[in-house]
Amino acid sequence: MKSRQKKITSDIDSVAKTVRNQIESGGERVWRLADFENMPFTAVAQALSRLFRLGMIQRLGKGLYYKPRQTAFGPSKPNPSQLRSLPILGKGIFPVGCAAANLLGFSTQHAAKLEVATNGLSLPRLLVGKETIIHTRRPESWQELSDKDAAILDFLRKRGSSSELSPEETVDKLLKHFNEAGRFEHLLRIAISEPPRVRAMLGAIGQELGYSEKQLMDLRKGLNPLSKFDFGHLIALKYARQWQAKERKT
């Protein structure tokens, strides 16, 4: 019995040593339990918990740890731009606000606080930063979006308000993004989960791109014919009023 217990203790110590060596040699990065393949789950969890208590790594969430590097301003923080590469979160992380406008080329401004959106209920604050503005409960359909597609939907939700261009220039640039192969069709498939104003804008965009009324029928049927929508900058879309845009105030 003592011999067996001694072997178990030795195996745990061996796993702990291996985990520690991998983390120390791995530099700055995020670690998950799944990163330690072919090792006992419980022993790995104990090793990571021990390293956290020793202050070698930071705990970001359940089963999620971060090994910082030392900088002149103290320990580094995880880079939010890498969040999408962390499947352990089980959630999508998307650029919104100024970040979305920058990605699409509508703005060169940088907000004082980072904004991100997620289809989850929350994100680990240690991962995204205490000052980050988090928009939660995006539709589950956003999980399959690229950063650019998510940025476009956010830009439509915001009515193009983050654009530094004129309404006409904004529409021209937006249409160029939609001219990329497959983009409109992809967003059309998930449009049912978007607010009515976004579906209306997509309809106006689709019509300007040359899609037929039949192809846009599902968008049309999903709109209350008595409603009017504020298109903001996107009022410059050629068919905005045919898709129930409010008249621009002069």
Provide CB contacts within 8 A for 68, sequence distance 6+. Answer: 28, 57, 58, 75, 76, 77
Q: What is the pTM of this model?
A: 0.70
The pLDDT of 195-224, averaged and rounded, is 96
Alpha-carbon distances of 149 from 96, 153, 213, rounded to whole Å: 11, 6, 23
**From 21-30, 60-69, 85-94, the region with the lowest mean pLDDT:** 85-94
How do 115-118 and 133-135 pair as beta strands? parallel
Question: What is the arrangement of strands in the sheet containing 29-32, beginning at the earlier edge strand?
Answer: 29-32, 64-67, 58-61
Compute the distance between CA of residue 7 and CA of residue 50 in angstroms, rounded to an integer. Answer: 20
Distance CA 158, CA 96 (A): 9
- As a whole number, mean pLDDT of residues 10-32 equals 83
All residues at 6 or more sequence positions from 29 whose CB lies less than 8 Å from its CB, including other chains:
66, 67
Catalogue all structural domains in the chain, each as residue range(s) with its CATH number. Answer: 2-75 (1.10.10.10), 78-161 (no CATH), 165-250 (no CATH)
pLDDT of residue 123: 78
DSSP state of 245: B
Q: How far apart, in whole angstroms, are the C-alpha atoms of residue 91 and residue 83?
A: 10
DSSP 3-state of 229: strand
Provide the pLDDT confidence category of residue 2 given band limits of 50, 70 and 90. very low
| Burial of 88: CB neighbours in 10 Å, binned 0-12, 13-18, 19+ | middle
| CA dist., res. 18 & res. 47, Å (int) | 9
Query: Rounded distance, CA 32 to CA 196, Å?
Result: 39
Distance separating alpha carbons of residues 153 and 192, to the nearest angstrom = 12
Of 240, 229, 234, nearest in space to 161 by CA:
234
Edge-to-edge strands of the sheet including 93-95?
Answer: 93-95, 115-118, 133-135
**pLDDT exceeds cutoff 70 at 6:** no
Identify the residue with better confidence: 73 or 230. 230
Is the pLDDT reported for residue 101 higher than 70?
A: yes
Residues 23-27: contacts with CB under 8 Å, at least 24 apart: 23/51, 23/56, 23/57, 23/67, 24/56, 26/67, 27/67, 27/69
- As a whole number, the mean pLDDT across the chain is 85
When pLDDT is averaged across residues 78-107 and rounded to a whole number, the result is 74
